[in-house]
Amino acid sequence: MKLAKAEVFVCCPGRNFVTLKLTTDDGIVGLGDATLNGRELAVASYLNDHCSSALVGRDPRNIEDIWHYFYRGAYWRRGPVTMAAISAIDVALWDIKAKSLNTPLYNLLGGKSRREVLVYAHANGKSVDEASAAAGELIAQGFRAVRIQSSVPGLSHTYGIAKGPGGYEPAQPGIAEEHAWDSAKYLRHVPALFERIRADHGSEIHLLHDVHHRLTPIEAARLAKDLEPYRLFWLEDPVAGELQEGLRLIRRHSTTPIAIGEVFNTAYDFSTLLTEQLIDYLRMPICHGGGITHLSKLAAWASFYHVQTGFHGATDLSPIALAAALHFDLAINNFGIQEYMPHSASTFDVFGVGYSLAQGALVVSDAPGLGVTFDEVAAARFPYAPASLPVNRKLDGTLYHW
């Protein structure tokens, strides 16, 4: 078996996606998601200009060797663009291998460890009332875990709050929007938000919250401690994760579980976090973190430190990425939870999927491979539309974490 074609498609069915399509000489197609929100063309170029010609002619069954070829062989290692490209190649190769063996991908990852994949949905609101009402609707739909985000009084923008109907999409056309931030206002607001959510919805529902990298370690320690009475399932990205040892301060002051890593792109970003047990969930998704090959190594390493997976699953990761995550989530023992934001109807005009939602969990397709199809003709109807993620400034104008 040889790879005959490597094609990259950039389309915008509701939002931009980059899709890698590998085709073997006997016509088997493998798909990979190479979407990196706001940097789509960089990854498309990396694949087209630096990977495709080296892929054609290779035996797609040699997944481990091909992974190292594109990781070590590139000389310039790690980073979101490189690793998104390698991730897409890797997932497409696993898709081909499973299809060639006529089996769903999870069977190549150890088979089913559970019946379903528990997910968490997003409840967002421009006020505490709105956020609580949104949580109530999701609970009524059967979700057992809900992420709660609300606007912060006195701030014009807050991460995670949709501008209008149609779900939350942070990337906007043109150059980056500028948002304003004040940690003191935020730190005063969030404990009151969760006091209300627990009062309205009880103690059984799993509650999650995303700080989105915006606190210093001591501020994050204070928030994690203030939230202890509300028993969060996790507090996500409490600090910017580059300083892994910064998480020690949070651990020293609180028992609130910590999730981090959606902006990481290799296992090396977790070394201190795991060996010092500074986190409880790892968020780095398969489509940004080196694919199934690399995440398999990281998840196994994490399992020895009681760390579970909680993969990033926003709508700027395509249905291919979610399908790959679901097969992985189903198979590994140290699965924690899967983020789930429903893609738009136009996204599903392009991507056909086999997974389905039932009672707050996703059920994985038993079709061979990932169980995802990509309609190139439909994709051509949705041309790429340049968009940028926002930037964030403190109230005095200082550029800060978004």
Residue 390 C-beta: closest distance to ligand CS2, Å: 9
Residues serving a catalytic function are: 159, 212
Residue nearest to Mg ion (CB): 210
Nearer of residues 60 and 269 to ligand CS2, judged by Cβ: 269
**Tell me, what amino acid is at 224?**
A
Q: 170 is in the binding site of which of ligand CS2, Mg ion, none (Cβ under 5 to 8 A by kind)?
A: ligand CS2
Beta strands in 112-184 (DSSP E): 117-125, 145-150, 172-173, 178-181
Q: Which residue has the tokens 């630096």?
A: 50
Number of residues located near Mg ion, criterion CB under 5 A: 2
* d(C-alpha 361, C-alpha 338), whole Å: 9
Nearer of residues 109 and 193 to Mg ion, judged by Cβ: 193
- Scanning 304-368, the segments in alpha helix (DSSP H) are 319-331, 347-350
Q: 29 is in the binding site of which of Mg ion, ligand CS2, none (Cβ under 5 to 8 A by kind)?
A: none
Residue 402 C-beta: closest distance to ligand CS2, Å: 8
- Residues near ligand CS2 (CB under 6 A): 37, 170, 210, 212, 262, 312, 314, 316, 339, 389
Q: 339 is in the binding site of which of ligand CS2, Mg ion, none (Cβ under 5 to 8 A by kind)?
A: ligand CS2
* d(C-alpha 62, C-alpha 369), whole Å: 16
Q: 309 is in the binding site of which of ligand CS2, Mg ion, none (Cβ under 5 to 8 A by kind)?
A: none
Nearer of residues 37 and 158 to ligand CS2, judged by Cβ: 37
Nearer of residues 51 and 208 to Mg ion, judged by Cβ: 208
Tell how many helices (H) and how many strands (E) occur in the chain. 13, 20
**Tell me, what amino acid is at 260?**
I
Nearer of residues 201 and 312 to ligand CS2, judged by Cβ: 312
Can residue 210 be called a binding residue for Mg ion (CB under 5 A)? yes
How would you classify residue 14: left for phi > 0, otherwise alpha for psi between -120 and 50, otherwise beta? left
Residue 98 C-beta: closest distance to ligand CS2, Å: 27
Can residue 316 be called a binding residue for Mg ion (CB under 5 A)? no
Q: What x/- string results for residues 256 through 275 when contact with Mg ion is judged by CB under 5 A?
A: ------x-------------
Q: Which residue has the tokens 């940097």?
A: 39
Candidate segments 62-70, 210-218, 344-352, 384-392, binder of Mg ion by CB under 5 A = 210-218
* d(C-alpha 200, C-alpha 9), whole Å: 45
Q: Which run of H or E residues covers position 40?
A: helix 40-50
Nearest to 146 by CA among 257, 234, 238: 234
Residue 143 C-beta: closest distance to ligand CS2, Å: 15
Contact 84/69 with Cβ under 8 angstroms? no
Q: 316 is in the binding site of which of ligand CS2, Mg ion, none (Cβ under 5 to 8 A by kind)?
A: ligand CS2
3-state SS of the chain: helix, strand, coil percent to 5?
35, 20, 40
Nearest to 32 by CA among 19, 45, 44: 19
Residue 287 C-beta: closest distance to ligand CS2, Å: 11
What is the DSSP track for 258-303? EEE-TT--SGGGGHHHHHTT--SEE---TTTTTHHHHHHHHHHHHH
Nearest to 46 by CA among 60, 30, 32, 64: 32
Nearer of residues 97 and 288 to ligand CS2, judged by Cβ: 288
Nearer of residues 39 and 393 to ligand CS2, judged by Cβ: 39
Residue 81 C-beta: closest distance to ligand CS2, Å: 14
Q: 314 is in the binding site of which of Mg ion, ligand CS2, none (Cβ under 5 to 8 A by kind)?
A: ligand CS2
Q: Which residue has the tokens 């996606």?
A: 17
Q: 343 is in the binding site of which of ligand CS2, Mg ion, none (Cβ under 5 to 8 A by kind)?
A: none
SS3 call for 335: strand
Residue 314 C-beta: closest distance to ligand CS2, Å: 4
**Which residues bind to Mg ion, rule: CB under 5 A?**
210, 262
